[in-house]
Structure 1
Amino acid sequence: MTADGTAVISAHGLRLRKWTPEDLPVLRDLFDDPDVAYRTPLAAPFDAAAARAYLDGAIGAPRRLHLAITTDGRTALGEVLLNRDLRSIGYVVGAAHRGRGLAVRALRALRAMTEYAHRAEGMDRVLLEIEPDNAASAAVARSAGYRRAEVGPETVTDKGRTYELLTWEHLAPAD
């Protein structure tokens, strides 16, 4: 945490920081993407109004921690989100930053947030939900030490699409 209480996580070559109003233009660039629209519940198209609503929700969400993924503390490459109620993590890397180490960046962000969830939030179990056909996310989850939880898939309907989500879990290391 910084002196003003803003969450900053520095780990694995990344600096995860809270979104600010100055990030509004970058949110559109990151989230107005067909892949993001397909895989997440974010608004599509992700226009200026959607970006403003998302930023307002991210800044004012006490039970969720929305952090911009950066390498320099400034330029947002994506987002990693910790939902404290569900004890789950989600992440997005912007299309412009894919193909330049997407898996590595996503893995680093996931590891950093997972470590934070265990250590700072006291979560003994952290979850991911991944569609069965999302091989890239499953590979990132495995690389970060997640394993498939022994629960059945959850069926979700969002934006007119019905799909299944598999639950992956990461258990806190034993002391």
Structure 2
Amino acid sequence: MGSVASSFPERIELAGEGLVLRDWTTEDLAAMPELFDHPDIAYWTPIVSPFGAAAARARLDRARELRAEGTAILLAITVDGGAPLGEVMLRRAPEGTELGYAVGPAHRGQGLAVRAVRVLAGYAFDELGAEQVVLELEAENAASAAVAAKAGFELLDVPLITGEEKGRPFALQTWGLRRP
């Protein structure tokens, strides 16, 4: 088991499943509100809402801080390294390696989340030595539950994670994928 304090590489680009997952850049700032300023994303994720230019700048800065701390990686989902279509996240937590994702409303229905999660899970297994990666999802979020199942995750028999975000209570199920 690797040390949690070990750092992430300064730059990351992962290719696979017809995608290129890459670092967010300042060139992406203009595209971020189109991806993240949406009622679905406001409801189901902790991403700030409304999401405008200031939120985009804050998210880019935070992504860089989390990377430097060795806590999390936030990568843009692209098909060719160009325009961002969404985001995939890997977070190291005491309870394990957690993945997450958000796909822009205009880019849904193309399997982007499923493919991005599989690529990032492969990175967690191969490069970080993770034994298992998890997704924490609300049971009512049918689209995310479908992504988890299609990506090969299984619902784990563990207690729900409850809390409150943006004034709304939530209960998260934990889905897991073991190292192949």
1:7 is matched with which residue? 12
| 1:83 paired to 2:91 | yes
The 3-state SS of whatever aligns with 2:54 is helix
Match of 1:98 among 76, 95, 108: 108
Distance of 2:42 and 2:146 partners within structure 1: 21
Q: Does 1:36 align with 2:44?
A: no
Shift of 1:55: 0.7
Q: Which runs of 5+ in 1 are unaligned?
A: none
| Corresponding position of 1:70 | 78
Supply the distance in 2 between the matched residues of 1:144 and 1:25 (Cα, whole angstroms).
30
* CA–CA separation in structure 1 for the residues paired with 2:114 and 2:80: 17
Partner SS for 1:87: strand
**How high is the TM-score relative to the length of structure 2?**
0.89
Task: Give the conservation status (yes or no) of the 8 Å contact 1:20–1:59.
Answer: no
Please list every run of 5 or more consecutive structure 2 residues that lacks an aligned counterpart in the other structure: 1-8
Match of 2:119 among 102, 107, 112: 112
- What CA RMSD, in Å, does the superposition of the two structures yield over aligned residues? 1.3
Cross-structure match for 1:155: 162
> What does residue range 114-133 of structure 1 map to in structure 2 within 5 Å?
114-133=121-140
The answer for the alignment partner of 2:63 in structure 1 is 58
Deviation by residue 1:6-60 (Cα, 9 ceiling, x = unmatched): 1010010000000011111111111111100001111110121111111101122
Shift of 1:5: 4.5
Whether 1:145 aligns to 2:152 is: yes
What amino acid sits opposite 1:91 in the alignment? Y
Query: Is the Cα contact below 8 Å between 1:69 and 1:76 reproduced in 2?
Result: yes
2:98 alignment partner AA: S
After TM superposition, the score normalised by the length of structure 1 is 0.91
Aligned equivalents of 2:50 and 2:139: distance in 1? Answer: 25
CA distance in 2 between partners of 1:89 and 1:66 (Å): 10
Count the aligned residue pairs: 167
List structure 1 segments (4+ residues) > 2 angstroms apart after TM superposition.
Answer: none
Aligned to 2:28: 23
SS in 2 for 1:25: coil
